[in-house]
Structures are given as structure tokens and as C-alpha cells.
């Protein structure tokens, strides 16, 4: 029911937020690995809650969609009772992990769960549901900063903006394959509202916005050469992603959605983590 590998979308950005907070604090070693461990636990558990809740809420709709009718709940492979138990279990794990991090994380835990679960309702009333999904992932790096520092620095919101725009952009691409079904079922999406060609142009614009947000983030933290190379690599991957999908040819959506975006998050993290670790060693390269 839940694909573990989907955590690769937001987790690298959350870890980047954590490393930026660690850098900003002067690279303290005490408690570092414990904090990173609980951040990973919180990320995986929140993702599990969000995806399972979405599966429960959409089970009836999924049963009517040829693309999704074989998912576990509509196909009868799992029961709703099991799914609700799964949601409850991972909600408790998430809350426990937040409490192990710091009091502010525990206080904000219900807010975070509310945001990631609220997305599941949005396709029923707004074509901007893609942005709500984006925000559900976009809060991850800001949450990781709070986990590391116990407070929020507004500069990290550039990374929240970047992840929000990136996620909304690739979700628009993915939703193009449900263009006809959304019309029939009365569901809201940008492809339904603007047509596939128009929606793809919005997706491209959002991804340009992501790159601009990353540039602002790097400048605000004074990062080095490898960070900028990472942004350039992300730009190249996004360009290739949009070359894979055309309004008249959606046959490579899976490659654009799963493969390319997995590369985006991981490669971004590798370059930025390397830049931060170089700075800690005293060998950081300034542009």
C-alpha cells in the first residue's frame, strides 16, 4: 500500500535542512547522530501517515479509475480497518519522534500531520491541490531545521519554497494521465482546468521558481561552489524531465515522475552536503 521509496522525494531535502542548521550552529557534534536518526524516523512515519490516509480517502475513487483500481484497498487486498490501524500506529511513532527532538517539534507535530493529511481532501474542491501537496513536502526542511535548532530561521523557508514548487510541478505532470478521469469524476486538477498543454507550461514555470528559490537559499547562507554546481545539476535534470513529457505523448510519465525526481532530490543533497562538509573541514570553495 505504501511505497517506501517515495520517501526519497522529501527526505534528502529534510536532511539538507538539518545540515544547514548544523552548519549555522557551528558544527556541534554532541547529539548530532541522534537528532538525524529521529528526523529520519519522523520523516518516514509522516510519509506513511500521509500516503495511507490518501489511500483510505480515495479508495472509492481509485476503484473507478483504471489506473488505480488495483491498489490494495479497492482491490480488497487490505481492509480499511487495517489501513486506519496503520495510520494510527505511524501517527504515534511520528509524535514520539517529534517529542524526542525538542518541545517545539512536539508542539508542532499535530500541525504537521494536519497539513500532510489535508492534501487528500483538496482535489475535491480546488485545482491548486498540487501546491498543497507541494507544501506537505515543503515543510520538511523547515521542520528539520527546527529539530536541529529548536527554533525557525526564516532563511530556510527558501528551501521550503523550492520543495513546494518542485513537488507541485512534478505532481502536475503526473496528474496529466488522469485528465479524462478527472473530468468524468468531477475532480479538480490543473490539467483538467487548463488542458494538458497549459498545465505543462505551469509545471515548467513552477520548476523555474524552484531554481530561483535555490539560488536565493544558497546566497542567503553564503554557500560555496559545490552548492551552485548542485543547483545547476538540478536545473539540467528538470530540463530533461520536461523533455520526456509532451502534451501529445505521455508515455514516459513514469520515467519523468519517479526516476528523474528521485535523481533531483538525491543529487541535490549530495552536492550540498559535500559543500557543507567541506566548509566544516576548512576547505570549502567559495565561488
Residue 279 has pLDDT above 90, yes or no: no
Do the beta carbons of residue 160 and residue 139 sit within 8 Å?
A: yes
Give the pLDDT score at 260.
87
Residue 5 has pLDDT above 80, yes or no: no
pLDDT bracket for residue 148 (50, 70, 90) = very high
Nearest to 262 by CA among 241, 283, 287: 241
Confidence (pLDDT) at 48? 94
Mean pLDDT of 226-232: 97
Note the pTM of the prediction, 2 decimals. Answer: 0.95
Separation between Cα atoms, residue 118 and residue 133, nearest integer Å: 9
Q: Residue 135 has which C-alpha cell?
A: 507544501
Mean pLDDT across the chain: 94
| Cβ pair 87, 53 in contact under 8 A | yes
Tell me if 285 sits within 8 A of 278, measured CB to CB. yes
pLDDT at 287 over 60: no
Quick one: pLDDT at residue 137?
96
Cross-strand partners of 143: none
- What is the model's pLDDT at position 163? 98
Q: Indicate the DSSP class of residue 149.
A: H
> 255: pLDDT confidence band, cut at 50, 70 and 90?
confident
Q: List phi, psi (to 5°) of 3.
A: -90, 110
Do 63 and 74 meet the contact criterion of CB atoms below 8 Å apart?
A: yes
Q: What digits encode the pLDDT tens for the residues 46-84? A: 999 999 999 999 999 999 999 999 999 999 999 999 999
| CA dist., res. 10 & res. 12, Å (int) | 6
Q: Cell triple for residue 196?
A: 494538458
Q: What is the pLDDT of residue 280?
A: 81
Specify the CATH architecture of the domain 4-281: Orthogonal Bundle (1.10)
What's the rounded Cα separation, in Å, for the pair 272 and 240? 21
Neighbours of 152 (CB within 10 A): 15
* Statement: residue 285 has pLDDT above 80: no
Question: Quick one: pLDDT band at residue 283, thresholds 50, 70, 90?
Answer: low
Give the position of cell 519517479.
258
Interatomic CA distance for residues 97 and 41, integer angstroms: 7
Convert the pLDDT of each residue in 115-133 to its tens digit: 999 999 999 999 999 999 9
> How is the chain split into domains, by residue range?
4-281
> What nine digits make up the cell of 134?
507541494
For residue 175, pLDDT beyond 90 = yes
Q: What is the pLDDT of residue 79?
A: 95
Tell me the average pLDDT across 222-230: 95
Q: What is the pLDDT of residue 124?
A: 95
- Give the CA radius of gyration of the chain: 19
Alpha carbons 183 and 147: distance in angstroms, whole number? 42
- 244: its cell numbers: 520526456
| pLDDT at position 2 over 80 | no
Written as nine digits, the cell of 81 is 480497518
Amino acid at each position: 500500500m505504501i511505497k517506501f521509496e517515495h520517501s526519497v522525494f522529501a527526505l534528502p531535502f529534510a536532511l539538507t535542512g538539518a545540515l544547514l542548521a548544523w552548519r549555522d550552529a557551528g558544527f556541534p557534534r554532541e547529539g548530532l547522530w541522534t537528532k538525524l536518526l529521529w528526523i529520519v524516523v519522523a520523516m518516514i512515519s509522516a510519509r506513511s501517515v500521509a500516503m495511507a490516509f490518501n489511500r483510505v480517502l480515495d479508495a472509492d475513487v481509485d476503484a473507478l479509475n483504471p489506473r488505480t483500481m488495483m491498489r490494495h484497498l479497492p482491490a480488497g487486498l487490505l481492509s480499511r480497518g487495517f489501513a486506519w490501524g496503520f495510520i494510527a500506529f505511524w501517527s504515534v511513532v511520528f509524535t514520539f519522534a517529534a517529542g524526542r527532538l525538542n518541545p517545539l517539534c512536539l508542539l508542532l507535530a499535530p500541525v504537521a500531520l494536519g497539513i500532510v493529511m489535508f492534501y487528500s481532501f483538496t482535489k475535491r474542491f480546488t485545482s491548486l491541490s498540487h501546491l498543497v501537496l507541494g507544501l506537505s513536502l515543503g515543510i520538511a526542511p523547515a521542520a528539520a531545521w527546527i529539530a536541529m535548532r529548536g527554533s525557525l530561521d526564516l532563511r530556510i523557508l527558501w528551501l521550503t519554497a523550492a520543495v513546494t514548487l518542485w513537488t507541485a510541478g512534478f505532481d502536475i505532470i503526473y496528474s496529466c494521465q488522469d485528465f479524462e478521469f478527472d473530468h468524468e469524476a468531477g475532480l479538480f486538477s490543473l490539467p483538467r482546468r487548463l488542458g494538458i498543454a497549459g498545465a505543462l507550461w505551469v509545471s515548467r514555470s513552477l520548476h523555474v521558481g524552484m531554481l530561483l528559490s535555490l539560488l536565493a537559499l544558497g546566497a542567503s547562507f553564503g554557500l560555496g561552489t559545490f552548492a551552485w554546481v548542485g543547483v545547476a545539476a538540478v536545473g539540467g535534470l528538470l530540463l530533461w524531465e520536461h523533455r520526456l513529457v509532451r502534451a501529445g505523448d505521455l508515455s514516459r510519465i513514469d520515467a519523468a515522475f519517479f526516476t528523474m525526481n528521485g535523481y533531483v532530490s538525491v543529487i541535490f543533497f549530495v552536492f550540498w552536503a559535500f559543500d557543507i562538509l567541506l566548509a566544516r573541514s576548512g576547505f570549502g570553495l567559495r565561488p
